[in-house]
């Protein structure tokens, strides 16, 4: 019969080397074993629908939608990796050191790519609203595709360099079997938070403040029914761009709301503003943002609802379904 100490070990057969299973408060256990698995499943399914929609239907192959595709891709990976985060939160990592390193670099890359895509979305909306006459020449599908690829490649290289000490010796910072930790210096940690959060957020806020000012002035001009030939010829296009700006503005606000607690607490370390349940709650908010984005699309984009209907009814397998009108 196992003793109480053995029952609390991740690997009872490795008594002297095994990590101990942490005892979670009830609120933490609910987040780890119920809320996070459901969030992971929803995140994967909803973002997969976005990926299929934009990839399949030719009408959706626009620069802005390609950025949404990149964001959905990073959110999809976050949803998949959330399953592995549950293992870490449970306190017993059973997949070994190699999978721990692979999980860490993929998670960091997906997060960095998500932030980078948010910056690209802000630039896209800035050009569309503030310099609309140059949008079609400056923001093209090929240029956006190149920027997205660079964003992902740079995110991977940056994070590989950030945790290279952990990758060179996988068990360097492992104190017991069943632990998955990535350790970086305090200076590198602060620099990383500045580079991957505060600096991009500053760029996003500055660009969207400018977009907001211009969008308000354009909305007022529309309401005043200015009857110039130039304006009447572009009013429908401006309405479309303004709607896209509002929708993506909501996405960015939700993004900042969900990620701020995580990054601020990471910067401050042991933050007394959060109670004992703060660690899993902040992690869940961080991941929950990836689940919210496609929900926002469903409410704001008619093309997304039409695409989901075609996907669910399996009409995407019909001949020439790629040419279906979803806009």
How many residues in total does the chain contain?
327
Compute the mean pLDDT over every residue in the chain, rounded to the nearest whole number.
81
Domain presence at residue 20: no
In a domain, 253, yes or no: yes
Q: What residues does 18 pair with on adjacent strands? A: 177
| CA dihedral (157, 84, 194, 68) positive or negative | positive
- Give the pLDDT of residue 272: 35
Query: Could you tell me which residues come within 8 angstroms of residue 169 by beta carbon, excluding any fewer than 6 positions away?
Result: none
Confidence check: pLDDT of 151 > 60: yes
Residue % of the chain over a pLDDT of 90: 28
Residue 141: the pLDDT is 94
Most distant CA atoms of the chain, gap in Å:
88
Q: Is the pLDDT of residue 13 over 70?
A: yes
Arithmetic mean of pLDDT, 275-286: 59
Is 196 a residue whose pLDDT tops 60? yes
The predicted structure's pLDDT at residue 229: 45
Residue 137, in any domain of the structure: yes
Q: Which of 86, 99, 104 is nearest to 24 (CA)?
A: 86
User: Is 10 a domain residue?
Assistant: no
Mean pLDDT, rounded, for 84-111? 83
The rounded distance, in Å, linking the Cα atoms of 174 and 46 is 36
Q: Is residue 193 in some structural domain?
A: yes
277 and 32 Cβ atoms separated by less than 8 Å? no
pLDDT of residue 240: 64
User: Is the model's pLDDT at 276 over the cut of 60?
Assistant: no
Phi, psi torsion values for 16, nearest 5 degrees: -80, -20
Rounded mean pLDDT, 27-42? 80
- The three-class DSSP label of residue 135 is helix
| Within a domain: 17 | no
**244: exposed, middle or buried (Cβ count in 10 Å: 0-12, 13-18, 19+):** buried
Q: Which domain holds residue 147?
A: 27-220+233-268+278-323
Band the pLDDT of 6: cuts 50, 70, 90: very low
Alpha-carbon distances, residue 28 vs 33, 35, 86, 155, 259 (angstroms): 9, 10, 11, 31, 19
Cα–Cα distances in Å, from 143 out to 68, 148, 157, 223?
15, 9, 21, 34
- Residue 41 φ then ψ, to 5°: -65, -45
Looking at the structure of the chain, the number of domains it has is 1
Question: Could you tell me which residues come within 8 angstroms of residue 64 by beta carbon, excluding any fewer than 6 positions away?
Answer: 121, 124, 128, 244, 248
pLDDT given at position 232 = 47
Give the per-residue pLDDT at 311: 94
Confidence of residue 242 (pLDDT cuts 50, 70, 90): low
pLDDT tens-digit readout, 290-312: 888 888 887 888 889 999 999 99
In the structure encoding, which two tokens stand for residue 105, read together?
A: 């670099």
Q: What is the rounded average pLDDT of the residues 228-238?
A: 49
| CATH (domain of 260) | 1.20.1070.10
How far is CA 266 from its chain centroid? 18
pLDDT tens column, 254-274? 888 887 777 777 666 543 333
> In whole angstroms, what separates CA 230 from the centre of its chain?
39
H helix or E strand, kind and range, residue 300: helix 278-300
In a domain? residue 298: yes
Q: CB atoms < 10 A from the CB of 101, how many?
A: 18
Judge whether 126 lies within some domain.
Answer: yes
């Amino acid at each position: 019969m196992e003793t109480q100490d053995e029952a609390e070990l991740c690997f009872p057969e490795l008594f002297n080397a095994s990590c101990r299973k942490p005892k979670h408060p009830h609120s933490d256990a609910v987040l780890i074993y119920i809320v996070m698995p459901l969030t992971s499943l929803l995140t994967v399914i909803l973002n997969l629908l976005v990926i299929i929609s934009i990839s399949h239907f030719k009408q959706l192959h626009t620069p802005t939608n390609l950025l949404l595709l990149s964001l959905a891709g990073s959110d999809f990976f976050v949803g998949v990796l959330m399953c592995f985060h549950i293992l870490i939160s449970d306190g017993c990592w059973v997949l070994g050191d190699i999978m721990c390193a692979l999980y860490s670099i993929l998670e960091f890359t997906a997060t960095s790519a998500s932030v980078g895509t948010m910056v690209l979305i802000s630039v896209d909306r800035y050009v569309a609203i503030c310099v609309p006459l140059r949008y079609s020449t400056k923001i093209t599908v090929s240029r956006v595709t190149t920027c997205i690829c660079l964003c992902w490649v740079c995110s991977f290289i940056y994070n590989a360099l950030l945790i290279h000490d952990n990758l060179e010796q996988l068990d360097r910072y492992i104190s017991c079997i069943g632990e998955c930790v990535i350790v970086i210096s305090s200076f590198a940690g602060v620099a990383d938070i500045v580079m991957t959060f505060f600096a991009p957020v500053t760029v996003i806020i500055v660009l969207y403040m400018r977009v907001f000012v211009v969008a308000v002035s354009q909305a007022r001009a529309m309401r005043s029914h200015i009857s110039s030939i130039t304006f009447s010829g572009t009013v429908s296009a401006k309405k479309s761009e303004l709607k896209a700006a509002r929708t993506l503005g909501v996405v960015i606000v939700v993004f900042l709301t969900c990620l701020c607690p995580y990054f601020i607490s990471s910067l401050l370390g042991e933050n007394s503003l959060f109670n004992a349940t703060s660690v899993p709650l902040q992690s869940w908010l961080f991941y929950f943002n990836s689940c919210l984005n496609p929900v926002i699309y469903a409410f704001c984009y008619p093309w997304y609802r039409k695409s989901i209907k075609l996907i669910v009814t399996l009409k995407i397998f019909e001949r020439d379904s790629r040419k279906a009108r979803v806009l």
